[in-house]
């Protein structure tokens, strides 16, 4: 099954990004495909390479980058939501790209399921 994902909350403050990541990783392990994760609302804050969590904690941003590298997951950050929050191309972690909301709608059209993680 092709599963699209939307993440609506930032890292660490909220579990949404963790849950979305664990769901995506498990879905891929089980043989499904996750072609795209779309980051919206405060979810755009998952994409910045400036993040420096304590060493004994998980690195939410790097985990997404690794998933993109290993499984070709397209990590898309909403441009409008990103601009409001100071997310620009200069600070994107590997695997992320900035694009429009059309990418979210497209994932909804193309995927068998669109799963949202947020409040």
Partner 1 sequence: MSDMMDDMDEGGEGVVKKFMFVNRKAPHGTIYALEGLEVVLVSAAFDQDVSLVFVDDGVYELIKGVNTKGIEVKDFSKTYRALEGYDVEKLYVEKSSMDARGLTEEDLIVDVTVLDSTEMANLMAEQDVVISY
Give the interface with partner 1 as residue ranges (CB under 8 A).
Answer: 2, 6, 8, 33, 35-36, 40-41, 72, 74, 80-81, 100-102, 104-110, 114, 116, 118-119
Q: Are 36 and 78 in contact (CB under 8 A)?
A: no
The two structure tokens encoding residue 10 = 């930032």
Instruction: Report in angstroms how near the CB of residue 55 gets to partner 1 at its nearest.
Output: 32
Which of 78, 81, 93, 107 is catalytic? The answer is 78
Please answer whether residues 46 and 39 qualify as being in contact, where contact means their C-beta atoms are separated by less than 8 angstroms.
yes
78 classed as catalytic: yes
**Residue 30 CB neighbour total at 10 angstroms:** 8
For 23, phi then psi, to 5°, come to: -65, -45
Count of CB atoms situated within 10 Å of the CB of 36: 21
Find the shortest distance in angstroms from Cβ 27 to partner 1: 13
CB of 75 to partner 1, least distance (A): 12
Compare residues 22 and 80 and give the one whose CB is closer to partner 1: 80
Question: Active-site residues: which are they?
Answer: 78
């Amino acid at each position: 099954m092709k599963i699209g994902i939307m993440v609506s909350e930032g890292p660490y403050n909220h579990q949404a990004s963790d849950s979305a990541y664990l769901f995506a990783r498990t879905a891929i392990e089980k043989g499904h495909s996750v072609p795209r994760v779309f980051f919206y609302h405060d979810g755009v804050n998952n994409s910045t390479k400036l993040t420096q969590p304590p060493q004994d904690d998980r690195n939410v941003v790097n985990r997404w980058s690794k998933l993109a590298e290993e499984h070709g997951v397209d990590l898309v950050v909403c441009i409008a939501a990103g601009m409001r929050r100071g997310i620009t191309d200069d600070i994107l972690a590997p695997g992320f790209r900035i694009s429009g909301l059309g990418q979210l709608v497209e994932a909804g059209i193309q995927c068998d399921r669109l799963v949202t993680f947020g409040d």
